[in-house]
Copies of this chain bind each other. A is one copy, B any other.
């Protein structure tokens, strides 16, 4: 019975669901439009970006949208897109994309704190900033825990399989919270910069509202691809066999698991 399952799942690994590539392409189109539109908003209406000037602030939204929205979203999709590569390669790519996202987000954080310091503005008073710090800390912790369980060798198989669903849930939740925090930041920027002009349907306001909807749509598209049960990455025959070996080797360490 178990060998039948193995060969069935091994065979399934070679195929990609027919609709998946279209959904992934759509999500990438959304993500790239999102980044381009953030750049366009900052370039057309906010004077562009320059580190050593008042325009330093503008590095913040761009870095956050690239790092904590686009790259973080793509890191979550790695297991759906690279279905037939070795598990280890996919894992390393997943971890690396998250590192890039984290570094770019850190630059975005430095930009806003540095800007506030130079201007003498208060830090961390707004809901956007509270959510932002929460997201950044959770993201960093999730990366560290994920690295030590899944990439660093030595974590027993039973521990990995118990932690995996938590890792996936918290990964998706942190991503959604990042999108929500970006929406709050966008709203904050609009109300600070436009004031009463916002209600007069100024072009900047309409552009930024569309950007907000795109942010929400990108979040929704990533979540859809991630959660569709029949699009999950199939286990490969050799991984299953390896897992069995691992399980046999490490069975002793958790008598009560499953």
Chain A positions within 8 Å of B, measured between CB atoms, are 121-122, 125-128, 130-131, 134, 165, 169, 173, 176-177, 179-180, 183-184, 186-188, 190-192, 198-201, 205, 208-209, 212-213, 216, 220, 223-224, 227-229
The reply to whether A187 and B127 contact each other, CB–CB distance below 8 Å, is yes
Q: Which residue of B lies closest to A196 (CB)?
A: B122
Contact, CB under 8 Å: B173 / A228: no
Identify which of B122, B180, B201, B209 contacts A127 (C-beta below 8 A).
B209
Asked if A209 and B173 sit within 8 Å, CB to CB, the answer is no
Q: Which of B126, B127, B187, B205 contacts A125 (CB 8 A)?
A: B205
Chain B residues lying within 8 Å of A227, measured Cβ to Cβ, are: 169, 227
Chain B nearest CB: distance from A174 CB in Å?
10
Q: Considering the chains assembled together, what is the distance between the CA atoms of A173 and B198 in angstroms?
A: 28
Contact A212 B127 (CB under 8 A): yes
Q: Tell me if B180 and A183 are in contact (CB < 8 A).
A: yes
CB distance from A125 to the nearest CB of B (A): 5
The reply to whether B223 and A173 contact each other, CB–CB distance below 8 Å, is: yes
Asked if B228 contacts A165 (CB within 8 A), the reply is yes
A198 to B180, CA, bound (A): 20
| A130 & B183 in contact (Cβ 8 Å cutoff) | no
CB distance from A45 to the nearest CB of B (A): 15
Interface of chain A, main secondary structure: helix
Are A224 and B169 in contact (CB-based, < 8 A)?
yes
Indicate if the CB atoms of B169 and A216 lie closer than 8 Å. Answer: no
Is there an interface contact between B121 and A212, defined as CB atoms closer than 8 Å?
no
**Which of B125, B179, B187, B199 lies in contact with A198, CB distance below 8 A?**
B125
Known: A134-B213, A176-B176. A199 touches B169 (CB 8 A): no
CB-based contact A220/B173 at 8 Å: yes
Give the distance to chain B from A227, nearest Cβ to Cβ, in Å: 6
Partner of A184, one of B184, B220, B229: B184
Measured CB to CB, the closest approach of chain B to A169, in angstroms, equals 6
**C-alpha gap A200/B125 in the complex (Å):** 8
Give CA–CA (A212, B133) in the complex, Å.
14
Q: Using Cβ atoms and an 8 Å threshold, which residues of chain B touch A224?
A: 169, 173
Q: Tell me which residues across on chain B come within 8 A of A177, comparing CB atoms.
A: 216, 220
User: What separation, in Å, do the CA atoms of A224 and B216 have in the docked complex?
Assistant: 20
Contact A131 B212 (CB under 8 A): yes
Known contacts: A177-B216, A184-B184, A216-B180. The answer to whether A208 contacts B169 by CB under 8 A is: no
